[in-house]
Structure 1
Amino acid sequence: MPLKTQQDDAPVLNLTPMIDILFLLIIFFMVGSKFTEMERSVDLDVPQVSDVGALTSAPEMKVINVFNDGRVMLGTREIELADLKTELAASLAEYQDLGVLVRGDSEVPFQQVATVLTTVRQAGIAEMAISVRLTNQRR
């Protein structure tokens, strides 16, 4: 097996492209800061408005829990199905893309969950989801 008797040249790091990019960034920010200074020096009387606060973000999905004993909770409070429909319709009027997450107890008959889903649909909400828990068992 032949042995290597001469050394290879050490790798060289070419810094020229990195320096070019650095100079381009410096020029970009210098020119950008000049434009903001010129914009502020324009004599313009802009209209005034009162501070009404920030725009509200989209609400999170409403969570409906269906319990084994037939109780239905919207968020943290118990609610009847007729009131659920009314309240969801009112919330939908405020935000058109409102979504609902239905969580049913594992022991609850599916008919109760189906009734809640029907009530949600009658309120006009199209985005619905059902919450489940994944098991770690493989077959």
Structure 2
Amino acid sequence: MAVKFKKSRAQSMLDITPLIDIVFLLLIFFVVMTRFDEEDYKLDVVLPTASEAKPLISQPRELFINIDEQGNFFVRGEQYTIDEIDELLVQTAADNPESTIIIRADKDSKLEFSVQVMNACNKAKLSNYSISTASIEPTQ
């Protein structure tokens, strides 16, 4: 006597709704946790080149001071005078004496403006400052 077996195909359905929820939660997390420091780079400053330029590693307590070719000072997208820069650096030193000051001066600006910012850093007892340069692109 032959026994007949029914071949049944169980239809398996994969519910991807929880997966979509997790993807959206991760997306929201990364959008919220992203640093929005683009205002430091909004000013169109053409940096001078240096053969030994190294990329700056971002630190949490950096203050970018941008100087355009006319000698105007910008911090976080707002224009400052040198006296206001002095006050800002004193306040920055009071908040965190280990703050890093990065001076981004246009290559056509006078060196005098960068020196004014360095003097202001020294007055505020901030010794961790640097001038940002662009690296030279290798020619092929």
With the length of structure 2 as denominator, give the TM-score of the two structures. 0.53
| Higher alpha-carbon Rg | 1
Per-residue displacement from partner, 1:48-69 (whole Å, max 9, x unpaired)?
A: xxxxxxxxxx842100001111
**Aligned residue type for 2:72:** R
Distance in 2 between residues matched to 1:94 and 1:60, nearest whole Å: 10
- Greater length-normalized contact order (CA 8 Å, ≥ 6 residues apart): 2
* Aligned residue-pair number: 81
Q: Which residue of 2 aligns with 1:90?
A: 91
Higher helix share: 1
**Structure-to-structure mapping, 1:1-139, within 5 angstroms:** 59-137=60-138
The 3 A distance-change label for structure 1 pair 136 and 85 is same
Secondary structure class of the residue paired with 2:130: strand
Q: Distance in 1 between matches of 2:90 and 2:60?
A: 15
One-letter identity of the residue aligned with 1:108:
S
1:85-137 CA-to-partner distances (Å, cap 9, x unmatched) read: 11111121111211100000011111221112111221211100110001124
Structure 1 residue identity aligned to 2:63: K
AA aligned to 2:112 is Q
What's the offset of the Cα at 1:77?
A: 0.9
Equivalent residue letter for 2:80: I
**Deviation digits for residues 28-47 of structure 1 (CA, Å, limit 9, x no counterpart):** xxxxxxxxxxxxxxxxxxxx
Q: Any unmatched runs of 5+ in structure 1?
A: 1-57
- The alignment's C-alpha RMSD in Å is 1.6
Q: Alignment partner of 1:102: what SS? A: strand
Same amino acid, percent of matched pairs: 15
Gaps of 5+ in 2: 1-58
